[in-house]
Structure 1
Amino acid sequence: MSRPHILLTAPPRTGKTTVVRRLADLLRAADVPVCGFLSDEVREHGQRVGFSVEEFGGRKAVMAHVSWVSGPRIGRYGVNVPAFERIALPAMERALATRGAVALIDEIGPMELLSPAFLPRCMTLFNADLPLVATVHQRSHPMLRSRIEADLVTVTPQNRDELPETLRRLLSG
């Protein structure tokens, strides 16, 4: 039996990361192992100044910041690809190695795709027989949709509150 593979998409600041965070909490409360990572905003004085990457139950690092001048740039952010890879890639490997795990990947977007190892690792997860939910930047999903088999779900203000529980039921059977 094939496990569910779901891509969550939405415009920025709609709640994709919040849905994944709440889903992870619900799965762990049901004793379902969760592997993967969250990408979240770094805020200073009420302003978004960067992004962090955090493994579920593990390490965290800043992967992009407005003040960084070296390295690749996405918009106004300098991106530290090695910092992203140190957290995200091992977290993705653990999803493959952990019996009964659900893989949660937040997000497959322009910053993350700067890592040459990231997309191949994503493809390995999508080709594995394990339940997977990934958030995808709205502009990235057409390219991904042509390469993977997954159900596309758009997060909206109308569905974002009940979506974590709906996904939990689907993923934990």
Structure 2
Amino acid sequence: MHLFIQGSPGIGKTTLVKELVKKKPSLRGFYTEEIREKGKRLGFKVKTISGEEAVFAHINFSTPFKVSRYKVDIDIFNRVVIKELNECLSQNCEYLVIDEIGKMELFSEKFKQILWQILQKKKTISTLPLKGESPFLEKVRSLPSVSLLQLTKENYSQILNYAQIFLNTVPLEKIRKWEEKAKKVGLNERILIENASYELASLIKKLNLGNKGVVIAGRGNNGADVLSCARKLLGKGYQIEIVVLNYNRAGEEVKFQVSILEKVKKIHFVDTEEDLRILKSVLK
């Protein structure tokens, strides 16, 4: 999963990234800062979270790579950034922060290559410029694992909250390892489902997305997780529509959750293509 934050210059993207780094110092990655003298912007420096920094764009540089008045030194950028990204790729780094994937950074082919590797293996929070397109940016934005948020002055606090929740979310691989350990010591699957759904319901409440929603559950234990979460949300006054897919092939835990929910809420079962019209009407 990747969280991309898009916004115009000066809107607060870098400020938001710095706030995240303060609250979660175990992050890796980099951000860029303006270089100003007597109120005039002269260039940009790149700072890695591990502590390295260098000026990589300046009005007085002499290079063929240019954005507006600023000449970009790719060698300097690569020397600082590629090392940081390589370390994140090779080490046990869960999340990476990148500020930003913009025109200056994309002059570097090495940056694009390693970033693409990272996007396949790690979780990232990245900032993007509001304007400017490139084939690479289009490819990155089209990844199915990308969530794109628009940052404005009005929603800064809300986007910061989303990003903090994103960073505090436990990766699926780690949850699976915990489940395996729990089973080995004899913890019941139903207890694990109740604990997972409690955390999920608490997270949904923190997001302040309103009190209406649709829960779509599959036939496995992940489906049981979200059905148990639906129970808890209904108990907190949420208006939840519930859709269960392939119930005729559902596992024991899904059937158990359905048996409880049916007593308090109508459930929409989708077992055939014809039943998909139900899902369409629920989502209207």
Using the size of structure 1 for normalisation, the TM-score is 0.87
Q: Is the aligned partner of 1:6 residue 2:24?
A: no
More strand per residue: 1 or 2? Answer: 1
Give 1:156 shift: 0.8
Give 1:95 shift: 1.8
More helix per residue: 1 or 2? Answer: 2
Give 1:166 shift: 2.6
Opposite residue 94 of structure 2, the aligned amino acid is A
Equivalent residue, structure 1, for 2:153: 157
Q: Is the aligned partner of 1:97 residue 2:90?
A: yes
- The answer as to whether partners of 1:102 and 1:171 remain within 8 angstroms in 2 is yes
Identity of aligned residues (%): 28
Structure 1 segment 104-143 matched on structure 2, within 5 A: 104-128=97-121, 130-138=122-130, 139-140=132-133, 141-142=137-138
Equivalent residue, structure 2, for 1:83: 76
Give 1:126 shift: 0.8
Q: Distance in 1 between matches of 2:67 and 2:57?
A: 9
Matched length: 165
Query: Which is further off, 159-168 or 88-97?
Result: 159-168
SS at match of 2:10: coil
2:36 maps to which of 33, 43, 46: 43
1:146 maps to which of 127, 130, 142: 142
- The answer as to whether partners of 1:42 and 1:49 remain within 8 angstroms in 2 is yes
SS at match of 1:136: strand
Residues 58/5 of structure 1: CA separation in 2 closer, same or farther (3 Å cut): same
- The answer as to whether partners of 1:34 and 1:95 remain within 8 angstroms in 2 is no
Equivalent residue, structure 1, for 2:49: 56
Q: Which runs of 5+ in 2 are unaligned?
A: 170-284
Aligned-residue CA RMSD (Å): 1.7
Equivalent residue, structure 2, for 1:15: 12
Render the CA deviation track for 1:68-120: whole Å, top value 9, x for unaligned: 23332111111111111111111111222332431001111111111111111
Q: Distance in 2 between matches of 1:94 and 1:80?
A: 22
Q: Distance in 1 between matches of 2:60 and 2:23?
A: 36
Q: Distance in 1 between matches of 2:144 and 2:87?
A: 21
Q: Distance in 2 between matches of 1:148 and 1:114?
A: 25
- The answer as to whether partners of 1:123 and 1:148 remain within 8 angstroms in 2 is no
Give 1:144 shift: 3.1
Q: Which runs of 5+ in 1 are unaligned?
A: none
Q: Distance in 1 between matches of 2:106 and 2:127?
A: 13
Give 1:142 shift: 4.0
Q: Is the aligned partner of 1:24 residue 2:21?
A: yes
- The answer as to whether partners of 1:53 and 1:61 remain within 8 angstroms in 2 is yes
**Higher relative contact order structure (alpha carbons within 8 Å, sequence separation ≥ 6):** 1
Using the size of structure 2 for normalisation, the TM-score is 0.55
Equivalent residue, structure 1, for 2:195: none
Residues 11/96 of structure 1: CA separation in 2 closer, same or farther (3 Å cut): same
Q: Distance in 2 between matches of 1:98 and 1:172?
A: 19
Q: Distance in 1 between matches of 2:53 and 2:21?
A: 16
